[in-house]
A and B are shown apart, each in its own frame.
Chain A
Amino acid sequence: MPWISACSTDDIDAEDLIRWDHGAQTFAIYHSPDGQFYATAGRCTHEDVHLCDGLVMGHLIECPKHNGQFDYRTGEAKRAPVCVNLRTFPVKVEAGQVYVEVP
């Protein structure tokens, strides 16, 4: 599966996320408070809402629609009403660029 350059490390504030679209797919890319980068599917598993307007708190992303939460490192659903885990994707950083291994 190819590694695709998604953004620069400066594009995302620490403890925040951005939306990244690639082809027909949409992703959420996170910059954790400890300086790491992560990627998940862009849309919540509860309803069809993008997570990019949500709130990152530590290693959790809270969905903007009903406040469901996921651990964005593992995709694990952490707070109702989300019950289904979020898909995650491998990420690497090289020369200030964030790469996502897209399926």
Chain B
Amino acid sequence: MGKRDYSPFGADAKRAVDSGLTAAEWYHTEVPRKVMKDLMARSDGPAIRDTILLYGSMILLAGIGIALWPSWWSAPFWLAYGVLYGSASDSRWHECSHGTAFKTPWMNNWVYQIASFMIMRNSATWRWSHARHHSETYLVGRDPEIAVMRPPELAKLILNFFGILDVLKFFPTLIRNAVSGPTAEERTFVPESEWGKVQRVALIHLTIYLATLGLAVALGSILPLMVIGLPRLYGAWHHVMTGLLQHGGLADNVIDHRLNSRTVLMNPISRFIYWNMNYHVEHHMFPMVPYHALPRLHEVIKADLPPPNRSIAEAFREMWPALKRQLLNEDYFLKRDLPPTAKPYREDFHQYVPGMMRPAAAE
């Protein structure tokens, strides 16, 4: 395929549309309607419990951090607070953007707004980018949420473990959004009716950051920034670690989530922070299933999926060599074996798209 062009205005984006790839129907494992209805059922209980636990822990950890400040004894509390702020907010943002975390819409919306602020995403813009990520997952030039582009820029990936690139990109965009609404690129996926909302959200976020900064200057201390803003840097590593595993090293330009997404079994603490998004193939195939039902969905469809990685470490051991190979050959991707019970991968489509993924590239 040669050099990939990730621009929404580039040749690959155009080719994905012209070839019919963007309109093609994605593969789904068959699940009886009654079972699926049961899995999709909404409830408030699990998310209320988890939200109280999350925000309660954050208040407690930040409180201890402030009480012990500026002693180094406060560091472990900040590190734990940072992970909840800078990483758990990613999964809360994600699940609430789907509207599946809670049954009650206003609860989804409130947690979505708070999480969007913490993870430094404009809540009005990112709702739309994530819809595109689901329609056109890892279609080059079309999916605005491709975390690992090819060839992978490993230095950038490592910098982002501390949120550095995300934050450097966020603030100029925030100011532009506050001044003039969505950027030209954002206007490709945010409908015009929402442009005013993008600007309003940006103004609110900007006001909070300016107030925090003002307080820090007035106190002559970075303490206010330790609570608001900086944890997006020092606590980002967990969401980057789990986020890379979602699709890293796997296929792009396919219409079968078993080829481009990864399910990883994880320890309970990471699953709490990540809100079960480690069941990533399952989530992409059936985005209506709430996070708390994903383990059950996994049991229902696992005979049709490649076996999950059994730990975060094992998944990295699988992904990292693939990323390194992509440095030399950007067409390379990992193609995991399916169990004998599974239907074959849906890759027929690609044989009709000149230059798109060739199974031979996966040898």
Q: Is B288 an interface residue (CB 8 A)?
A: yes
Contact A83 B193 (CB under 8 A): yes
The answer for the CA separation of A10 and B98 in the assembled complex, in Å, is 32
Contact A66 B37 (CB under 8 A): no
Contact A65 B134 (CB under 8 A): yes
The answer for the CA separation of A66 and B131 in the assembled complex, in Å, is 6
The secondary-structure label for the interface of chain A is loop
Interface 9-residue window, one of A35-43, A48-56, A86-94: A48-56
Instruction: Give the residue of A53, A80, A83 whose beta carbon is less than 8 angstroms from that of B36.
Output: A53
Within 8 A of B (CB), among A32-81: 46-48, 53-55, 57, 62, 64-67, 69, 79-81
Contact A55 B193 (CB under 8 A): no
Q: Shortest beta-carbon distance, B17 to chain A, in Å?
A: 13
Contact B42 A79 (CB under 8 A): no
Instruction: Give the residue of A46, A47, A62, A79 whose beta carbon is less than 8 angstroms from that of B288.
Output: A62
The answer for the CA separation of A65 and B132 in the assembled complex, in Å, is 10
Q: Is B160 an interface residue (CB 8 A)?
A: no
Contact A81 B128 (CB under 8 A): yes
Number of interface residues, chain A, beta carbon within 8 A: 18
Contact B37 A55 (CB under 8 A): yes
Q: Is B287 an interface residue (CB 8 A)?
A: yes
Q: Is B172 an interface residue (CB 8 A)?
A: no
Contact B191 A55 (CB under 8 A): no
Q: Shortest beta-carbon distance, A17 to chain B, in Å?
A: 10
Residue of B whose beta carbon sits closest to that of A54:
B288
List the interface of chain A (C-beta within 8 A of B).
16, 46-48, 53-55, 57, 62, 64-67, 69, 79-81, 83
Please give 9 more A-B residue pairs, beta carbons under 8 A apart, in addition to A54-B288, A67-B287. A55-B37, A57-B42, A62-B288, A65-B134, A67-B100, A69-B99, A80-B127, A81-B128, A81-B131
Give me the 6 closest cross-chain CB pairs, A-B, nearest first: A66-B131, A81-B131, A55-B40, A67-B99, A67-B98, A64-B288
